[in-house]
């Protein structure tokens, strides 16, 4: 059998494939609900603020029933532990009901909690500070307009409260991630003012202490139409989090200059933080949020996590939204690719390589690192999928095709 032979070849390198499979199966990946409907949500908003889903593939989910059905279908084809990552714009309203973002309550998300419970999954949460007429001149929490800023503070306060209640209901911790689009197209006259207002907004939002919420803030370098200045930059949030116990800096690998190595940032954050929330994405020329692939960037990020035994610290979420291909397939490809990259990282002989680095055996280190690349990794992945009762890589697409014909094309 291919797996047994792979197992013994990895054993020769000192790697226990059984342990890697076990570790992988216990690590939850938080799957973003917003891939299913092009970040449109249920409250009439939509994606803006410098992000964009492009394409018009048929079958977009238009409501809670459709989105959860699609999400469930994708999950049937994805091995391992999964979580549902929600945005506040996915509030489920009763017929005819509508409340503004500053007035949302737990009851609007109770159907999601029931859904997650039936799938045995946890939930993560994000206030939605975009896609709303209340965004003024592209600004939310850093707005100089006090009414605007107050609205978004209240939205984030409401979101954290909902996250706490979701956590209580699920007896679990909920990652609550604040990302704001705030920035400027052209050269700022004032860089400090917006940041001081953002700091004050965050202080107000985070004042209430919760036991079921892990708070984080997501930095960014630029967005479409916001090319010259982003208020919530990485330095801003790193500084903020360092001064504020229990608030973490979320790293989205699409939010840096293309030549920056995001994996390297993880080993810096690990010196100072006990959680490292992540958005795994794929940027093509800009923060385009293409579907995650089993590529070098993702492998390197997970390698950094695996080699530092930081799996409990890394809170892995996905962030992509592609409207040009089957959306269920996009979830499956992206999540399975991330899991592959994690398994790949778990099957690298990190201890040997580190020992070679420390003893100055750089030639041998480079040789071994190259040799690892052609190890029979695929056989271990196939074994994992089989044990998890999900289709193999060349088998799951049929299920998506049937679902597309029976469900998606009928919409």
Strands 29-32 and 286-290, bridge-based pairing: unpaired
The 10 Å CB-count burial string (b at 16+, else e) for 199-229 is bebbebbbeeebebbbbbbbbbbbbeebbeb
Nearer to Zn ion, 12 or 235 (CB): 235
Residues in contact with ligand RNT by CB under 6 A are 34, 39, 51, 126, 179, 218, 220, 252, 279, 287, 319
Q: Judged by CB, which is closer to ligand RNT: 3, or 34?
A: 34
How far is C-alpha 280 from the chain's CA centre? 5
Q: In the annotation, is 218 catalytic?
A: yes
Choose, from 164, 215, 287, 383, the residue flagged as catalytic: 287
Residue 51 touches which of Zn ion, ligand RNT, none (Cβ within 5-8 Å per kind): ligand RNT
With CA atoms as reference, report the closest residue to 248 among 292, 287, 279.
279
Question: What is the three-class DSSP state of 255?
Answer: coil
- Out of 108, 155, 199, 255, which one is annotated catalytic? 255
Among this protein's residues, is 370 annotated catalytic?
A: no
Q: Are 202 and 243 in contact (CB under 8 A)?
A: no
Q: Which stretch binds Zn ion (CB under 5 A): 15-23, 137-145, 150-158, 273-281?
A: 273-281
- Work out how close the CB of 145 gets to ligand RNT at its nearest, in angstroms, rounded to a whole number: 22
Note if 155 is an active site residue: no
Q: Is 201 helix (H, G, I), strand (E, B) or coil?
A: helix
List, in sequence order, every residue forming a beta bridge with 86; answer none if it has no partner.
Answer: 125
Among ligand RNT, Zn ion, none, the one that 60 touches (CB under a kind-dependent 5 to 8 A) is none
- Nearest distance, CB of residue 317 and ligand RNT, angstroms: 8
Specify whether 16 is catalytic: no
Q: Which of 87, 199, 279, 290 is close enough to bind Zn ion by CB under 5 A?
A: 279
Task: Give the residue at shortest CB distance from ligand RNT.
Answer: 179
Q: How far apart are the first and last CA of the chain?
A: 44
Give the nearest distance from C-beta 179 to ligand RNT in angstroms: 4
Is 73 catalytic? The answer is: no
Tell me if residue 179 is catalytic: yes
252 is catalytic: yes
Q: Can 287 be counted among the known catalytic residues?
A: yes
Shortest Å distance, C-beta 103 to ligand RNT: 21
| Pick 182 or 287: Cβ nearer ligand RNT | 287
Nearer to Zn ion, 168 or 283 (CB): 283
Tell me how many degrees the CA angle 315-35-224 measures, rounded to the nearest 5. 90
Nearest to ligand RNT of 126, 165 (CB atom):
126
Alpha helices by DSSP H, listed for 184-230, are: 192-205
Catalytic residue among 37, 124, 215, 252: 252
Q: Does residue 252 belong to the site contacting Zn ion (CB under 5 A)?
A: yes
**Identity of the residue, 32 or 339, whose beta carbon is nearer to ligand RNT in the bound complex:** 32
Q: Minimum Å distance from CB 220 to ligand RNT?
A: 6
Q: Which residues contact 333 (CB under 8 A, 6 or more apart)?
A: 291, 292, 293
Nearer to ligand RNT, 231 or 380 (CB): 231
Residue 393 backbone phi and psi in degrees, to 5: -55, -40
- The beta-carbon contacts of 106-110 under 8 Å, at least 24 apart in sequence, are 106/161, 106/162, 106/165, 106/166, 108/162, 109/162, 109/166, 110/169
Calpha distance 342→14 (Å, rounded): 18
Interface with Zn ion: number of residues (CB under 5 A): 3
Q: Which of residues 313-332 bind Zn ion (CB under 5 A)?
A: 319
Nearest 5°: the CA angle 157, 161, 167 is: 145
Cβ at position 321, least distance to ligand RNT in Å? 7
Pairwise CA distance, residues 338 & 294, whole Å? 6
Structure tokens at 251: 């790293």
Q: How far is the CB of 36 from Zn ion (least distance, A)?
A: 16
Contact residues: Zn ion, CB under 5 A = 252, 279, 319
- Which residues are known to be catalytic? 179, 218, 220, 252, 255, 279, 287, 289, 319
């Amino acid at each position: 059998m291919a797996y047994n032979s792979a197992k013994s070849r990895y054993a020769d390198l000192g790697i226990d494939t059984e342990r890697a499979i076990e570790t992988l199966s216990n690590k939850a990946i938080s799957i973003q609900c917003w891939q299913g409907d092009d970040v449109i949500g249920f409250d009439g908003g939509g994606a803006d603020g410098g992000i964009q889903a492009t394409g018009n593939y048929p079958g977009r989910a238009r409501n809670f029933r459709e989105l959860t059905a699609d999400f469930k279908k994708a999950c049937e084809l994805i091995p391992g532990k999964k979580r549902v990552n929600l945005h506040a714009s996915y509030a489920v309203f009763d017929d005819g009901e509508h409340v503004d973002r500053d007035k949302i309550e737990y009851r609007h998300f109770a159907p999601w909690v029931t859904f997650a419970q039936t799938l045995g999954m946890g939930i993560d949460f994000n206030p939605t500070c975009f896609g709303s007429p209340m965004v003024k001149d592209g600004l939310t929490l850093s707005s100089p307009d006090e009414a605007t800023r107050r609205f978004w503070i209240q939205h984030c306060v409401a979101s954290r409260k909902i996250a706490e209640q979701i956590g209580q209901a699920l007896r679990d911790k909920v990652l609550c991630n604040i990302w704001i689009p705030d920035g400027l197209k052209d050269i700022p006259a004032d860089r400090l003012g917006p940041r001081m207002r953002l700091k004050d907004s965050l202080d107000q939002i985070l004042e209430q202490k919760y036991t079921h919420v892990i708070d984080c803030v997501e930095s960014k370098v630029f967005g479409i139409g916001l090319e010259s200045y982003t208020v919530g930059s990485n330095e801003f949030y790193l500084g903020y989090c360092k001064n504020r116990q229990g608030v973490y800096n979320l790293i989205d690998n699409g939010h840096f200059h293309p030549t920056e190595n995001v994996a390297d940032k993880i080993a810096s954050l690990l010196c100072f933080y006990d959680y490292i929330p992540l958005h795994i994405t794929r940027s093509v020329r800009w923060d385009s949020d293409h579907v995650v692939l089993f590529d070098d960037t993702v492998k390197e990020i997970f390698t950094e996590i695996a080699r530092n035994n930081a799996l409990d610290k890394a809170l892995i979420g996905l962030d992509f939204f592609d409207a040009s291909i089957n959306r269920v397939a996009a979830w499956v490809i992206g999540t399975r690719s991330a899991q592959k990259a994690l398994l790949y990282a778990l099957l690298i002989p990190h201890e040997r390589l580190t020992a070679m680095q420390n003893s100055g055996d750089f030639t041998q280190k480079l040789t071994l690192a190259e040799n690892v690349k052609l190890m029979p990794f695929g056989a271990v992945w196939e074994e994992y999928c089989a044990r998890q009762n999900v289709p193999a890589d060349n088998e799951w697409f049929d299920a998506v095709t049937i679902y597309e014909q029976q469900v998606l094309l009928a919409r």
